[in-house]
Structure formats: structure tokens, C-alpha cells
Amino acid sequence: MGPTGMRTEKLDLCKICGKMFLKIKDITVCPTCAPQKYLPRFTAQPESSPILATKNGKPIKENVNVQKDGKWSLKYERCVRCGGNGVKHVARGLCLNCYWQESEKRNRGKQRLRKGLASNKLDHKYLYEEYMNKKRSLGDIAKDCNCSRQYVLKKMKEFSIPLRTLSEARTLALNRQKFVFKILGQDGNASLVIPGGIKINEDFFRPWSNETAYVLGAIYTDGHINPGRKIDPSQKTTTMSPLEDENKEAYVLRRREKMAPLILKRRIWWESVPEASSYRVYVSKDRTAFEPASFSWERTPGIISRLVIGKTGLVIPDEWPEFPSESGTYYIGITSIDDVGNQSEPLLLSGLFKFFAPSAPLRGGIE
């Protein structure tokens, strides 16, 4: 009897079929494998005398993992399968009983190893042969030994067997087509995608030419070569001919494409008007658009405007993307607007706007 007057039981593995069952007294087999005379001992217990699971000979208290806010678990208030919360939460929204039932259902039909057999099987010879020679993954080895991947990793470290790098493991998985995922096509149907292996042409840079120089420049300027990274000897350029002038020019051209030129911005500003609640800025390449006979504020043909609220300036082109990009002299008109929409005559400004840099010299030298 437990400390509260309830029967105390614990889970154990059946010595015959290996299934999990509630152990009563000294019985070491489950009800399915037990002789007929033992079956009455495995009858269901009444609700007034519930069975408690034990750990290290001590009963496990109910709701031992109740959160501070009073919930049964962090994400669930009760078991998603049985709907109760009298048994503690284990994982995936399942209580202890439902978790073991799901585990039994998931592993039904699989061959089980008796307790301790995985540890005996995972010796240095077996791990070295499977991992190093056969190039199998830790997960595949764990499935054969009916244990977890973490346990295989623990044994690998125990025997000091070197592990693959992340790049080597990913390449090996791609070559064996282990990556499978689904994509949804335009017709709404899902299809499986199995990426192929990675193939590297180690002789790509050996016939040196303008094309290979361009590719090398593209790789270098895009930042895919780490100066501290070790490069495979087969990819070194020791057997390449020296860069000729035309190859250097191809590299310089590629380098110049990746470097943004320096473009100066222009700022349009004006003094604030106390009666104004907002301002409107007009721009046109034709000065006659701002003459009294032609100017009709927003209805003026061939003119672009922008409303400005809460400030007395605009940075071109950042704050006015619609500003004309063509280089030349432009006329700027600025009007004040009050609360009821009355608009003043424009303040006329003019200036040169150019948002393109000249081309760089193609050749040069130092003498």
C-alpha cells in the first residue's frame, strides 16, 4: 500500500514479448503472455483504488508538473486524447497512460532488443565498421540497435571515433537522397522533391580563359570565399597561367559592378509659415508652368507635386521617389496650405539635379 492508502504499481517490460505493462508483485510477463492462472491478478482496479506509477520505489504525485499559472502543462490544460488531467503530462499533450499507449501502437510489429543488448552491440568494432566504412548515419545505426541517436553519439564519443562535419554529413545525405519534401504546384497538387547529389568539377579552372576569370571574380566579389578557409588542393591555381591584361580587365569590370557609386543627395528646404498646417512642393522642368497665367496648383498639366506635413524640407530622392530621375535643371514651387485648404502662391526655386555618377577610367597606371 502507498502512503495514502492506494495501491502502488510500476511499469516493467515483459520478458517474453517486450511490451510495457503494469507490474504486480513478482510477475515478469504481461497479461497476454502470462499463464491462465495469473490472469485474475491483472484485472482492472476500481476507481476508488487507483494505481500509482512509481519511480525509484516512490510513488509519483499527480500533477507534479503543474505550471505556476495552474495549467496542467505549458500548452495544454488536459490530455488531448483522454481529456483528463489526473495523470501527469509527459509529452505532445499526452498523459503518462496515453503516451505509453501511443508508443506501443507506434512500435507494434517491430523487433525489440532486450534490455542491455544495444549497449553490448554498440562496441568499437561495430561502430567503426558501420559509421566509418559503410558511411551510415547515427540515426540509421540507432534504428538497427533500437536505441536513441543520442545514445549512439554517447558511445561514439566514448570510443573516440571522429565524427563527420556538418558539410560532410549533408553531402552524404544528399548523395543518398535522404532529403525528401513536398511542394505545392500551380495546379494545387503536391509533389515529392528529392534533391540530387552534389557534383563538383575539380578541373573547372584548369583551362584558364576569360570565362573562368569572370566566374572567379563573381565568386570572390560575392563574398563566397573566406580568407581563413582551407581550399582543396585540386582547386588551387598553381598550374594556371598568369593573368593577362584582358583577364584583369574582366575582373575589374566585375568588381566595379558590385561597388555602388557615390551619389550626392539634394535637400529642398523653406521657412515655416505660422498659419500653415501643411505644404505642397511642385516640380517641373518648364519654368512657364509656374507663371500666373499657367499655374493652376495640382491641376497644372506636366507638373508633379507632393504634400508635406509636419516639416519644412525634403531629401531628394529618398523622401520623394517620384521625383524625375532625368538629369537637368528643375524648377521647384512651394506653397503653404492652411486648415481649411486655402493655398498660397508658389515660392519658386531652381537647381541642377543629377543622380547618376560618371563612369570610372578603364585604364591607368603609376609611373
β-strand pairing of 20-23 with 10-13? antiparallel
What's the confidence (pLDDT) of residue 347? Answer: 93
Per-residue pLDDT at 334 exceeds 90: yes
CB 215 within 8 A of CB 251: no
Those residues whose C-beta lies under 8 Å from the C-beta of residue 267, and which sit 6 or more positions away, are: 313, 314, 315, 316
Which pLDDT band holds residue 278 (cuts at 50, 70, 90)?
very high
HSE-CB of 232 using CA atoms within 13 angstroms: 7
Give pLDDT tens digits for 286-306: 999 899 888 998 888 889 899
Average pLDDT of the residues of the chain: 75
Per-residue pLDDT at 279 exceeds 90: yes
What's the confidence (pLDDT) of residue 238? Answer: 41
Which pLDDT band holds residue 213 (cuts at 50, 70, 90)?
confident
What is the C-alpha to C-alpha distance for residues 30 and 24, in angstroms, rounded to an integer?
10
CATH number of 266-353: 2.60.40.10
As a residue count, the chain comes to 367
Most confident residue range from 178-192, 228-242, 318-332 = 318-332
Give pLDDT tens digits for 142-163: 888 878 888 889 999 998 999 9
Give the domain ranges of the chain.
Answer: 10-106, 117-163, 210-258, 266-353
Q: Pick 101 or 330 by higher pLDDT.
A: 330
Q: What are phi and psi of 98, to 5 degrees?
A: -65, -30
Indicate yes or no: pTM above 0.75: no
Can you give the C-alpha Rg of the chain in angstroms?
A: 39
CB 282 within 8 A of CB 300: yes
Whole-Å CA distances, 118 to 113, 197, 327? 7, 32, 77
